[in-house]
Chains A and B, each alone.
Chain A
Amino acid sequence: MTEKKATTKKTESKKQDTKKVAPVKQEVKKQAAVAPKTAVGSTTEQKPRIGVFICHCGTNIAGSMDINEVQKYAETIPGVAFADNYQYMCSTPGQGKIEKAIKDKKLTGIVVAACTPRLHEPTFRTATKEGGLNPFRFEMANIRDQNSWVHMHDREGSTEKAKDAIRIAVAKAALLQDLYPKSVPVEKTAMVVGAGVGGMQAALDLAAAGIKTYLIEADTSIGGRMSQLDKTFPTLDCSQCILTPKMVDVGRSPNIELMTWSEVHSVEGYIGNFDVTIRKKARGVLTPKEAEARGIVGGGCNGCGDCDAVCPVVKPNNFEVGMKPRKAIYINHPQVVPLIYTIDFTSCVKCGLCVTACGPEKRAIDLESKDEFITVKIGTAILATGYDIFPIENKKEWGYKRYENVITSLEFERLICASGPTGGHLVRPSDGQTPMRVGFVLCAGSRDNTGNGKPYCSRFCCMYSLKHAHQIIEKIPGCIPYIFYMDIRSFGKMYEEFYYRIQDEGAKFIRGRVANILEDPKTKNLHVMADDTLLDRPIDMEVDMVVLASAIQPSADTNRTRKLFGVSCSMDGWLLEAHPKLNPCGTTTAGVFLAGVCQGPKDIPDTVASAEGAASAASIPIHMGEVELEPYFASCIEDKCAGCGMCVNLCPYSALSLVEKDGRTVMQVTEAKCKGCGTCGGFCPGGAIWMNHFTTPQIVAQIDAFLLGGEQ
């Protein structure tokens, strides 16, 4: 790694390169001595003694490379005092090896060549600490995700790549320094984004644990998708009846501050100390509290609906999937929480009739109301942003929006619901007649690999379609449901039993994907064309109505919201959990958690369970009172800082500022705000910014170790 050795072995051009690099490197090394807060113990003075531990990961790694050869090579790398391998380094014996070697071999740094730091960096840091070293004296070489998994059939190549990865990690480990995490206090307040059944449950749990919780809902009322459903499977409970008490609890809880018709506008800060700005969309109607604040005593909206009666503008009601009208001033349905009207300003003509109808006592309507922005401080946040229905008209073969009598399951829910647009009478949209033969198309857009649909299973469509079959058999004597399915996935508690029950009730099951639906132009009846794969023959089934069990997808605002909170998503758009099995509610952003369907399709029980998990996880840092921050922050080498302030403007986290010190202007870092992204450090023209744990000498050493290969 030294300049001398490199120049003797490399070609002329490489010599020049190393010469270019070397002076910079030495210069920076000198800076290390003057860098604040990096003064490390006597260990910097002594020669590095690095221990290398290679993990087999069962056969995940060992199956694709020669572990012994890699270990033999590791032993020859300068600075390596000890090398070992083990079947599962993350296991207790594996960690024990690290602890023992630190003591026995007097190691100064640890390299584990295994999986990804996302999975086991905390594990091995703990082992390093247990062995008596500062935990930040640990470096990980990823020889699994980025090596053995991708080069599964190239044993020789992956062996060589593993050697490179370990050499690079050792180069960094030799220069690692002791670092000490900072603890910061956690704001004793939480936020839940989305007030469907998942978000409500999470907020209720947090509130019950004594934590003040902001519940943010984009719609005008809470309840989400569940409030649109008629009955729930397999118990056939009335959805509204079991949901309404929860909605009322949310409205009443002293610890929940409910903000409907609101969305997250911006997020700043970090775990324990997020500053979230909420955009309260212009509602045009004052709550009694807001009215009182304006000095209108006893005023504000009491939900009487006098305004609704006089409003001349008629629009389709989204809550009823457009099948019922609403006015420009409206509530979604009679049971809404909160019972406060909202003006749809995109269609309001500001005629003022509602203002007159509301009267001089309540004075609840303000036609000039504007969006308001409110910033709140929170410790942790839960995203519960739910789902939308996949636009099933994209699957043209089924003719949704082309054939009147092809409807979606959500439309079916509203039509069969007693409080829906037809008072619970299922009718054909074309002629208002009661259908006697109803086709159900399952996996409509789900489990679809054509590229025009969703590859995943939407998970609850089988079950609600069984419930739909039950409902029409019950409500319309003689009506036959024909269920076209691929597989019936009745996986939950009492679900399989429910499936058998529906079979016994007389529903007809046809195993075959529906290829095409054709409309008889005269009768508007539908011909469902499918392949009956059990009888091995094509089928042309004439029915009066078809219900498409459409796939689901993340709700429209999910992507924007997740970006504000720094949460990733998988390829299909669902939000990415920290670990699919062991940390399904957490995210890779500390302090941000996931509840319900935004993480992936879930039925109601799974959503509620996930919400309770997220609430529990989100309450932990709050109850602990403080959290440790990774000490990766930037620091200023004041001797070198020219006070130009360029870094201040570059910092995406507003962590930097300029201060006067000893008559000079220098940069100062607010460590709690710094995320260690390195933007400032990479840019600083004077080399005056020191990035802890990613120092210039460390990175240059890694690059050298890679470029100079094994020839050092």
Chain B
Amino acid sequence: MSESNANFKFAFYLGCIAPNRYPGCESAAIKTCKKLGIDLLPLKGASCCPAPGAFGSIDLNVWYAMAARNIVLAEQMKMDIALLCNGCYKSIWEVNHKLKHNKDLRDGVNEVLKEVDMEYKGTINVYHIAELLYNKKYVGADKVRDSVTNPLTGARIAVHYGCHLTKPHKEREFEDEVMLDTEHPVWMEELVSAIGATPVEYRNKMQCCGAGGGVRGYDIVHALDITNEKLINIQEVGADALTDICPFCQLQFDRGQIEIQEKFGVSYNLPVLHFCELLGLAQGMSPQDLGLDLHGISCDPFLKKVL
């Protein structure tokens, strides 16, 4: 587990929410991946992905061009992109895929990029960190298990996959076919088991967090209503914490619980952790290293149970 034997290097695309609201996600991703032989190097000069719901609903061409610019930065580093947010995955992966396969679109985007002396070439691939962790080609559940020094034994964890990583099913092309299951995937549960915790099934697991597609920005009460339903379903099965692989989902579940308390008068106090944060705990990192003290809902009861 020496930190020098990195097998893979990726340009690390941060997105917006991780660095601004949950810096713990960012540091957890870099530190845990390092222990698993993956170097995440800063993608300097990157902008917003831009948010697929907000930008995509209003002007697709802006969405294409801005995402393409982020991809070109990685092309210039001659590195594939790794990212940790489902929204970013939809923007960066999907635009990259579309531009690779549609010449007209590529030409149009390149005309825009010319203004900043850039050209999209289509030379790199885009990966979600959860994909790198699950796919044996990069890490795989066995290696994740081997990296664990503090197994989270006895912790009952509910998994939230989020929407944009797996859907729309027809447009996703994961190297590991197991990840193509959109309706009832269990590969995240495998990773949760690998760090010693117990994954728990709950009703309507694949329901949206409520935030995506601009719903949180447009109609917060409606968004919280959906979040509330998920929290009820998770509470029903007695989970100790919820794990996600998307900082925006995390925001909705974590901040959202405070907003639900304010608006609906219900409280759940369910700790919400990005899987990288959870993995960091299992690899023996301190809650401060992982920025868990910055969460809206206190992680302390959960930490007491697992540390």
The answer to whether residues A396 and B181 also contact, given A450-B169, A450-B170 and a CB cut-off of 8 A, is yes
Binding site for A on B (CB under 8 A): 169-170, 181, 183-184, 203-204, 206, 236-237
The prevalent SS among residues of A at the interface is loop
Question: Are B204 and A518 in contact, with the CB atoms below 8 A?
Answer: yes
Question: Are B181 and A521 in contact, with the CB atoms below 8 A?
Answer: no
Question: Are B183 and A397 in contact, with the CB atoms below 8 A?
Answer: yes
Closest to B184 in A: A396
User: In the complex, A396 Cα to B161 Cα: how many Å?
Assistant: 16
User: In the complex, A439 Cα to B184 Cα: how many Å?
Assistant: 21
> How far apart are A575's CB and chain B's nearest CB, in angstroms?
29
Q: Is A395 an interface position by the 8 A CB rule?
A: yes
Instruction: Please give, as numbers and ranges, the residues of chain B lying within 8 Å of A402 by CB-CB distance.
Output: 184
The answer to whether residues A521 and B236 also contact, given A397-B184, A399-B184, A402-B184 and a CB cut-off of 8 A, is yes
> How far apart are B236's CB and chain A's nearest CB, in angstroms?
7
Binding site for B on A (CB under 8 A): 395-397, 399, 402, 450-451, 516, 518-521
User: In the complex, A518 Cα to B237 Cα: how many Å?
Assistant: 15
Tell me which of A395, A450, A518 contacts B203 (CB under 8 A). A518
The answer to whether residues A395 and B183 also contact, given A450-B169, A450-B170 and a CB cut-off of 8 A, is yes
> How far apart are B20's CB and chain A's nearest CB, in angstroms?
34
User: In the complex, A518 Cα to B230 Cα: how many Å?
Assistant: 13
> How far apart are A528's CB and chain B's nearest CB, in angstroms?
13
Closest to A519 in B: B203
Instruction: Please give, as numbers and ranges, the residues of chain A lying within 8 Å of B184 by CB-CB distance.
Output: 396-397, 399, 402
User: In the complex, A174 Cα to B8 Cα: how many Å?
Assistant: 66
Question: Are B183 and A521 in contact, with the CB atoms below 8 A?
Answer: no
> How far apart are B225's CB and chain A's nearest CB, in angstroms?
14
Instruction: Please give, as numbers and ranges, the residues of chain B lying within 8 Å of A396 by CB-CB distance.
Output: 181, 183-184
> How far apart are B245's CB and chain A's nearest CB, in angstroms?
19
Instruction: Please give, as numbers and ranges, the residues of chain B lying within 8 Å of A519 by CB-CB distance.
Output: 203
Instruction: Please give, as numbers and ranges, the residues of chain A lying within 8 Å of B181 by CB-CB distance.
Output: 396
Question: Are B183 and A520 in contact, with the CB atoms below 8 A?
Answer: no
A/B interface sample: 18 pairs, CB < 8 A: A395-B183, A396-B181, A396-B183, A396-B184, A397-B183, A397-B184, A399-B184, A402-B184, A450-B169, A450-B170, A451-B170, A516-B183, A516-B206, A518-B204, A519-B203, A520-B203, A521-B203, A521-B237
User: In the complex, A383 Cα to B97 Cα: how many Å?
Assistant: 46
Closest to B236 in A: A521
Closest to A515 in B: B183
User: In the complex, A518 Cα to B236 Cα: how many Å?
Assistant: 14
> How far apart are B210's CB and chain A's nearest CB, in angstroms?
16
Instruction: Please give, as numbers and ranges, the residues of chain A lying within 8 Å of B203 by CB-CB distance.
Output: 518-521
User: In the complex, A396 Cα to B204 Cα: how many Å?
Assistant: 12
Closest to A521 in B: B203
> How far apart are A166's CB and chain B's nearest CB, in angstroms?
37
Closest to A452 in B: B169
User: In the complex, A396 Cα to B180 Cα: how many Å?
Assistant: 12
Instruction: Please give, as numbers and ranges, the residues of chain B lying within 8 Å of A395 by CB-CB distance.
Output: 183
Closest to A449 in B: B170
Instruction: Please give, as numbers and ranges, the residues of chain B lying within 8 Å of A397 by CB-CB distance.
Output: 183-184
Point out which of B169, B181, B184, B237 has the most chain A C-beta atoms below 10 A from its C-beta.
B184
User: In the complex, A450 Cα to B172 Cα: how many Å?
Assistant: 12
Closest to A529 in B: B204
User: In the complex, A520 Cα to B237 Cα: how many Å?
Assistant: 11
> How far apart are A698's CB and chain B's nearest CB, in angstroms?
45
User: In the complex, A329 Cα to B215 Cα: how many Å?
Assistant: 62
Instruction: Please give, as numbers and ranges, the residues of chain B lying within 8 Å of A520 by CB-CB distance.
Output: 203
Instruction: Please give, as numbers and ranges, the residues of chain A lying within 8 Å of B206 by CB-CB distance.
Output: 516
User: In the complex, A396 Cα to B181 Cα: how many Å?
Assistant: 8
Closest 7 CB pairs of A and B: A396-B184, A396-B183, A397-B183, A518-B204, A518-B203, A521-B203, A396-B181
Closest to B204 in A: A518
User: In the complex, A251 Cα to B301 Cα: how many Å?
Assistant: 73
Closest to A399 in B: B184
Instruction: Please give, as numbers and ranges, the residues of chain B lying within 8 Å of A450 by CB-CB distance.
Output: 169-170
